[in-house]
Structure 1
Amino acid sequence: MTARDPGPAAGVTVGVEEEFLFVDVGSRRPVPRAGAVLARLGADAGIKPELYESQVEAVTPVLTSLAGVARELVTNRASLARAAAAEGVAAVGVGTPVLAGPRPELSGGDRYRLVARTYQGSFADYEACGCHVHVGVPGDDLAVAVVDHLRPWLPTLLALSANSPFHHGRDTGYASWRTIDQARFPGGGIPPRFGDFAGYRRCLDRLVDCGVLIDERMTFWAARPSPRYPTVEVRVADVAASPDGALLQAALVRGLVRAALDDLGRGREAPDVDGQLAAGALWSAARYGIHGHGIELTGGRRVPARALLAALVRRVRPALEDTGDAPLVDTLLPPVLAGGAARQRATAATGGLTAVVDELAGLLTEPVAGERSAEHVPVPCDRMS
């Protein structure tokens, strides 16, 4: 399988990984209770340890339909909420902690200890939570080619998902502080244009050999070929407060991957995007979210973020119609467009930061808007973890 011959079934499967933060129900501050919560859930729950004891990651199976993704997102979140409540804590979907807690405790393992030793202060309070979407793409060269095509759209996916305006008790002035927090690490942001898998490996191996990354899994690029699965992994988004945001990210990312595969099948190369402008576009998305301005990367001009989103939706519309997902996306867009960051700030203005945390805890298990609009039946395979 080459980059110019993606095949008709490529890019169909999708899976979502969501990271959540535990907070004490009294103080609303992060607490290290992941071990106890995971013990209640059991090994088969689709929820696994994360970097710190204050976090977990919920993983869907590999699916072929958004209806299946919706059910899994809701099921994972409900299971997590019940187990957390039994331990006297709440799970919240937020990009960075609203209030400061005690210094986070590593969840264990030699790799995490090596990460902590390598990155020192940059890592000491990094309780960031994201949403990662995996879309099946067979073949290493094809996966790299797809990532090259995704580069112009990654800032818009971030702007739509921005859900971390507060950090440790202060308003950061950003819509996604998680993105700024993540910029402290090397191997992040919009990835370079690699061209092929050999170019990707050269860049990755050089960063590891130079001691910048501890291993090939450590990259923070907003999109990458997965180091573990036959997928393209888009990891630019903040975790969503409710399942709607995660489901919309899954739909749009799969649509973008399918559009890239179509372009590659027709011999269309990825657009040439300036690296510095791409970094600026990601910063703008983090700063202003979906309600401010962004940067149109192929033209190099400042435009409203919502105009960029409209262009993205036009880009994926044929793929969404092909899979029957267009009605669901049209239903999901209005509630998600309200913006996680804007909603948090509105709540803080009337109830303070504790009210923000309480609202986030309630949103975790909201039903998916328009869930019945998706038509396909899932075909689950092995879980991603």
Structure 2
Amino acid sequence: MLDPFASSEPFTIGVELEVQIVNRHDYTLTKAATELLNEVKKYDFAGSIKPETTEGMIELSTGICSGFEQARAELQVLRDTLVRAADFLNVGVCGGGTNFFQNWYEQRSDGRERSEYLMKLYGAIYQQFTIFGQHVHVGAPDADSALVLLHSLSRYVPHFIALAASSPYVQGSDTQFQCARLNSVAPFPLSGHAPFMTTWAEFERYFDRMTGTGLVKSLKDFYWDIRPSPGFGTIEVRVMDTPLRVEWAAAIAAYVQTVARYLLIDQPIRLSESDYEVYRTNRFMACRYGLDGTCVNAETGRSATIRDDILATLDAIAGHAAPLGAQEGLDIIRRTVSADMSDATWLRRLHAEHKSLHEVARQSCEVWRGLRMPN
């Protein structure tokens, strides 16, 4: 049975970042999560630093944030705390959606009961799930509104993927994707988009049917791109790679937040199950080409580049920025999109210059610490 949908302040946000723990020799993932978690207990900070899937990963989570400035500030403190602990243990930390060098078959569970269960259930698919994403929770006024928001935001999934794309390299090779991380999510049988339901009563009946089959035990067993989180009173957008900088992660969260307010208050979209007819193609184009990909408007059938669609959306949502304190974050989005300085593009430019993925990884660790990205 589903938890009741909790009360939350509409349009507040929470940001989660899954980050890489690497050794400082060849920048492969290293087993240091438990030691890092013990070390960060010495410090006070808002939010949390938690284990995630394997010993080469850690999750940073903000508390409930009103907007961009608070999210950025909390993420910066979480980052600095983790970096301080990593320096003490002589390991590195970085963002990015994939580790350049890790071999999936070397990955092991972190020993937690759920991780052991998933490893046994999914086998090699779960081992390949050592990937790193940004999740953004957005507060909803009530359960039905949460589902309306979930399906409305699905049209913007290509935007979110392209903005955060930072996973072009897998196992030492250029995949030709801007976001290769989501290729590791697709094989899960309960991945993709949520079923088209716009009332919580419908969703509760669906969940009861699914738990009755034994296929799922909780909402966490659905690897949907966007899913409801009734315990928090939010919907959770899950398609983004972890950005290389926490400041960029906060800007993306501000964009998600402002689009959400625009969708629920202005109600510019007429929802239809047919929206999902172009969903997989739009999602693929964002993963493959990033901002240069094309996406099809499900309602009009018109195509545009994802870059142009984001810029047009920034104009449409401008009136919602001030109530959320999101303007600085949206300005960062506009500048970055206009200049084509996505994380995936930066990683490839750096590799072209140095001809070494190890150097790219080294500089990614430096950028994560808050240093300016070299041009």
Q: Do both proteins adopt the same fold according to a TM-score greater than 0.5, normalized to the shorter chain? A: yes
For residues 80 and 250 of structure 1, the distance between their equivalents in structure 2, rounded to whole angstroms, comes to 21
Instruction: State the shift of 1:271 in Å.
Output: 4.9
- 1:107 matched to 2:110? The reply is yes
Residue segments in structure 2 that go unaligned for 5+ positions in a row: 1-6
Equivalence for 1:202: 205
SS at match of 2:332: helix
Deviation of residue 158 (structure 1)? 0.8
Tell me the amino acid that sits aligned with residue 359 of structure 1: Q
Are the counterparts in 2 of residues 81 and 91 from structure 1 also a CA contact under 8 Å?
A: yes
| Matched residue SS, 1:280 | helix
1:338 paired residue number: 341
Instruction: Identify the residue that residue 135 of structure 1 maps to in structure 2.
Output: 138
1:18 is matched with 17
The DSSP-based 3-state class of the residue aligned with 2:264 is helix
Q: Distance in 2 between matches of 1:154 and 1:273?
A: 16
Residue number in structure 2 paired with 1:234: 237
One-letter amino acid of the counterpart of residue 99, structure 1: F
Judged with a 3 Å threshold, the aligned counterparts in structure 2 of structure 1 residues 17 and 368 are, in CA distance, closer, same or farther, namely farther
Q: Is the 8 A contact 2:108 2:127 kept in 1?
A: no
Matches within 5 A, 1:1-385: 10-42=9-41, 45=45, 46-101=48-103, 103-263=106-266, 269-335=270-336, 337-351=340-354, 352-366=356-370
**Amino acid corresponding to residue 13 of structure 1 in structure 2:** T
The offset of 1:191, in angstroms, is 2.6
Give the Cα–Cα distance (whole angstroms) in 2 for the partners of residues 277 and 207 of structure 1: 26
More displaced, 323-332 or 336-345?
A: 323-332
Contact 2:250–2:329, Cα closer than 8 Å, also in 1: no
Contact 1:23 1:29 in 2 (8 A): yes
Q: Could you report, residue by residue, the CA deviation over 1:207-228 in whole angstroms, capped at 9, with x for unpaired residues?
A: 4444444532122211121143
Matches of 2:291 and 2:283, distance apart in 1: 12
**Which 10-residue stretch deviates more, 84-93 or 190-199?**
190-199
Which segment is superposed worse, 153-162 or 17-26?
153-162
What does residue 374 of structure 1 align with?
none
Q: Distance in 2 between matches of 1:29 and 1:227?
A: 36
In structure 1, the residue corresponding to 2:300 is in which secondary structure?
coil
Q: For residue 259 of structure 1, give the secondary structure of its aligned residue in structure 2.
A: helix
- Give, in whole Å, the separation in 1 of the partners of 2:212 and 2:291: 38
Summarize deviations over 1:81-107 as a string: whole Å, max 9, x none: 121122121111011111125712212
- The residue type paired with residue 69 of structure 2 is A
Q: Which region of structure 1 is more displaced relative to structure 2, 182-191 or 345-354?
A: 182-191
Query: Equivalents in 2 of 1:159, 1:118: separation in Å?
Result: 31
Distance 1:207 1:95, change over 3 A: farther
Asked which structure has the greater RCO (Cα within 8 Å, sep 6+), the reply is 1
* Contact 2:229 2:236 survives alignment (8 Å): yes
What secondary structure does 2:239 align onto? Answer: strand
Partner of 1:346, secondary structure, is helix
Q: Give the count of matched residue pairs.
A: 360
Paired with 1:117 and 1:273, the residues of 2 have a C-alpha distance of 36
Question: In the aligned structure 1, how far is the partner of 2:351 from the partner of 2:215?
Answer: 39
Rate the CA distance shift 1:233–1:128 in 2: closer, same or farther, 3 A. Answer: same
Taking a change above 3 Å as real, the CA distance of residues 40 and 14 of structure 1, as seen in their structure-2 partners, is same
CA gap 1:368/1:309 in 2 versus in 1, 3 angstroms: farther
Q: Which residue of structure 2 lines up, in the alignment, with residue 373 of structure 1?
A: none
- Give the residue type in structure 2 aligned to 1:129: F
Whether the 8 Å contact between 1:192 and 1:275 is mirrored in structure 2 is: no
Matched-pair contact (CA < 8 Å) for 1:149–1:271: no
Q: Whole-Å Cα distance in 2 between the matches of residues 162 and 207 of structure 1?
A: 32
Is 2:131–2:181's contact at 8 Å kept on the other side of the alignment?
yes
1: CA distance between counterparts of 2:55 and 2:86?
A: 13
How far apart are the structure 1 equivalents of 2:284 and 2:145? 28
| Paired residues of 1:252 and 1:316 also in contact (CA < 8 A) | no
* Structure 2 residue matching 1:123: 3-state secondary structure: helix
Please identify, of 328-337 and 22-31, the stretch whose mean Cα deviation from structure 2 is larger: 328-337
What is the CA–CA distance in structure 2 between the aligned matches of 1:28 and 1:350, rounded to whole Å?
Answer: 19
Provide closer, same or farther for how the CA distance between residues 237 and 120 of structure 1 changes in structure 2, counting only shifts above 3 A: same
Pairwise CA RMSD: 2.4
Deviation at 1:144, TM superposition (A): 1.0
Distance 1:239 1:210 in 2: 34
In the TM superposition, what whole-angstrom CA distance separates every residue of 1:143-187 from its partner, at most 9, and x where no partner exists?
A: 112112111111211111111001111111111111111111122
Q: Distance in 2 between matches of 1:301 and 1:213?
A: 38
